[in-house]
């Protein structure tokens, strides 16, 4: 474990107490390395000129440049950086703008530390994650008053189980643990689901599942 590669993380949050809380929360996780914390998006972007982290925890309600604007810039200039947006609001416009910004995950700030820790690993491995409560906002915005025909997309009973866990925000590893299968099997199920739903990522799959009540 000593030689295991650490995940380098930046925190962008304008409240000092929140930044301190995040840093203290991750002190016990030896594979997470908080390499920078910033009050503004501009300070974070400047720091990227000299040091590029693996993950950025990005607040949305920042002074000056917003988290959404910063995410767009960082995603364009540093596509390998994974960005987890953390927000305390479920405002429709804010959520939809976040979904278009190029972030890799969207979580509400009341997320538990252990869940956030797992989320960092999930995103670092290349997966996309969305808080189920945010999925409901997207569903409400795009599909309110729009009836849809019942469609099961030829999903097998097992794939429906996996999709339900995916909508709840579980990672492939967590899905494997829940269903007592290997991570490879869980990943294969997720890939099959994406193909059957004709979507390209977990966010789109969650939104479509909500729309069609899968």
Give per-residue pLDDT as tens, 14-24: 999 999 999 99
| Tens-digit pLDDT profile for residues 119-158 | 999 889 887 787 777 766 665 555 554 545 567 788 999 9
Round to whole Å and give the CA distance between 64 and 9: 22
Beta bridge partners of 108: 87
Q: Tell me how many degrees the CA angle 36-37-41 measures, rounded to the nearest 5.
A: 110
Query: Of the given ranges (66-75, 92-101, 160-169), which has the lowest mean pLDDT?
Result: 92-101
Residues in the chain: 214
The runs of H, that is alpha helices, within the chain are: 16-25, 41-47, 67-77, 92-99, 113-124, 132-143, 157-167, 172-179, 183-197, 202-211
Share of the chain above pLDDT 90, in %: 42
pLDDT at 51: 94
| CB distance 35 to 56 below 8 Å | no
pLDDT at 31: 93
Across the beta sheet with 82-87, the strand order is 32-38, 7-12, 55-59, 82-87, 105-108, 129-130
Q: What is the pTM of this model?
A: 0.70
| CB distance 84 to 57 below 8 Å | yes
Tokens of 10: 């930046």
Tokens of 37: 């914390």
Round to whole Å and give the CA distance between 180 and 5: 27
Contacts of residue 1, defined as CB under 8 A and 6 or more positions apart, other chains included, come to: 30, 31
The runs of H, that is alpha helices, within 37-171 are: 41-47, 67-77, 92-99, 113-124, 132-143, 157-167
Q: Tell me how many degrees the CA angle 109-214-171 measures, rounded to the nearest 5.
A: 40
| Tens-digit pLDDT profile for residues 55-88 | 999 998 898 899 989 999 998 999 899 999 988 7
pLDDT band at 9 (very low <50, low <70, confident <90, very high): very high
pLDDT at 180: 93
Mean pLDDT of 47-52: 95
- Write the CA distances from 149 to 187, 202, 213, integer angstroms: 28, 22, 10
| CB distance 140 to 174 below 8 Å | no
pLDDT at 1: 43
Domains of the chain in start order, with CATH, are: 7-126 (3.40.50.2300), 141-211 (1.10.10.10)
């Amino acid at each position: 474990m000593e030689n295991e590669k650490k995940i380098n993380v930046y925190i962008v949050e304008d409240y000092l107490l929140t930044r301190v809380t995040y840093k203290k929360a991750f002190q016990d996780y030896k594979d997470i390395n908080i390499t920078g914390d910033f009050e503004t998006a501009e300070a974070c972007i400047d720091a990227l000129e000299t040091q590029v982290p693996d993950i950025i925890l990005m607040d949305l309600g920042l002074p000056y440049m917003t988290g959404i604007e910063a995410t767009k810039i960082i995603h364009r200039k540093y596509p390998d950086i994974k960005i987890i947006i953390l927000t305390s609001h479920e405002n429709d416009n804010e959520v939809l703008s976040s979904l278009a910004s190029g972030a890799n995950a969207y979580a509400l700030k009341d997320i538990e530390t252990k869940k956030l820790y797992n989320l960092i690993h999930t995103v670092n491995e290349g997966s996309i994650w969305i808080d189920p409560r945010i999925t409901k906002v997207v569903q409400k915005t795009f599909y309110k008053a729009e009836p849809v025909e019942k469609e099961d997309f030829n999903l097998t009973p097992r794939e429906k189980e996996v999709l339900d866990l995916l909508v709840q925000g579980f990672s492939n590893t967590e899905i494997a643990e829940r269903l007592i299968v290997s991570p490879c099997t869980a990943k294969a199920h997720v890939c099959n689901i994406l193909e059957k739903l004709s979507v390209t990522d977990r966010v789109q799959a969650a939104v479509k599942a909500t729309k069609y009540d899968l």
